[in-house]
Homo-oligomer: A and B are copies of this chain.
Amino acid sequence: MAVYTHVPAEEMAEFLKRYDTGHLVSAKGIAEGVENSNYLVETQREDGTSERFILTLYEKRVDEADLPFFMDFLDHLHARGCKVPRFISDLEGRKLQQLSGRPACLIEFLSGISVTEPTPAQSEAAGRALGELHMAAQGFTQVRRNALDKAGWHDLADKCGDHLDDIAPGLSQRIEAELSFLDANWPADPPSGVIHADLFPDNVLMNGDEVTGLIDFYFSCTDITAYDLAITHGAWCFSSDGATYHADRGTAMIRGYEAAHGMSDAEHAAFPILCRGAALRFLLTRAYDWIYTPADALVTRKDPLAYLRRLDFYASASPQDLLGA
């Protein structure tokens, strides 16, 4: 959420000469996205027309070897009408570059704002966009393992260990019990595909109630499609502290998703369990960051307990509670 690598404007201007974009006329470091450095750049052609792009330098959190997967996935989605930003090819057809000693890419800029308190109409639009993404992802044959799958949660819980109880008394035991429950009840062989896996409001650009862009695909991976909806549900339908569930957002989101993609009876039945998994995933990554990120780091630590509260809610919810009448 900061600019980690400062790229001198002269170096950036030289870099952009590799592309058919015109010359650099503006560059602003932006505070956005996962732990990458991002610049909003503007270029101008001889005829006076201008274009905007996001220039991303990848810091430690994104593995350079994964970038071709993300690029191909976004091309696939874009070709099928999804509003996603494409990686731009340079004059020699390359998308992956080096800049200031980092892997770097030039990416389409999409306008739109990220809402903080989604309305039901906006939640429905996000659900529909996610359903369309899952439809469009069908036929994309590449596979990327989800490092934060159920096996990954066990691993995170082990790494956090007794430190969990420093966050909240009894938390480590609670998480162990939840992992056992999910191991026993996780749906067998559900519909899967490539999912976004991090569709928080931050990653959805909107104009009013209309989705203008889905961004930040750096967690995208192969996993259960309805689990992606569960992640999105947890991210959009609660107060940020997790204490209040907004049922109007939740039912609207699922209505939007079903309109675009549909859900089977088995997916309906499994939805509360997938939501518990999604809540546990963010509880664990936040707990891990809480335990292992120095309090004075550039990155703001997010409260793990906001996801324990969501987990509590989902653990007591029936499919009907979540899906509406």
Interface of A is mostly: mixed
A113 B13 Cβ-Cβ under 8 A: yes
Name the one of B12, B24, B31, B116 contacting A29, with C-beta atoms under 8 angstroms: B31
A residues contacting the other copy or chain, number (CB 8 A): 31
- CB-CB nearest in chain B for A50: B111
The answer, yes or no, to whether A130 is at the interface (CB within 8 Å) is no
A296 to B117, CA, bound (A): 32
A10 B42 Cβ-Cβ under 8 A: no
**Contact string against B for A residues 100-114, beta-carbon threshold 8 Å, 1 for contact and 0 otherwise:** 000000000001111
- CB-CB nearest in chain B for A54: B28
Name the one of B2, B10, B42, B298 contacting A115, with C-beta atoms under 8 angstroms: B10
CB neighbors of B among A188-240 (8 A): 205, 207
The complex is assembled from copies of this chain, and their number is 2
A28 B26 Cβ-Cβ under 8 A: no
The answer, yes or no, to whether A139 is at the interface (CB within 8 Å) is no
CB neighbors of B among A155-208 (8 A): 205, 207
A287 to B2, CA, bound (A): 25
Chain B residues whose C-beta falls within 8 Å of the C-beta of A11 in the assembled complex: 116
**Contact string against B for A residues 3-47, beta-carbon threshold 8 Å, 1 for contact and 0 otherwise:** 100001111110000000000111111111000000010100000
CB neighbors of B among A62-121 (8 A): 111-117
Chain B residues whose C-beta falls within 8 Å of the C-beta of A24 in the assembled complex: 113
- Given A29-B30, A30-B28, answer yes or no on A42-B117 (Cβ-Cβ < 8 Å): no
A116 B9 Cβ-Cβ under 8 A: yes
A30 to B1, CA, bound (A): 10
Chain B residues whose C-beta falls within 8 Å of the C-beta of A31 in the assembled complex: 2-3, 28-31
- CB-CB nearest in chain B for A38: B28
Binding site for B on A (CB under 8 A): 2-3, 8-13, 24-32, 40, 42, 111-117, 205, 207, 294, 296, 298
* 5 closest Cβ pairs, A-B complex: A8-B116, A9-B113, A296-B296, A29-B31, A26-B111
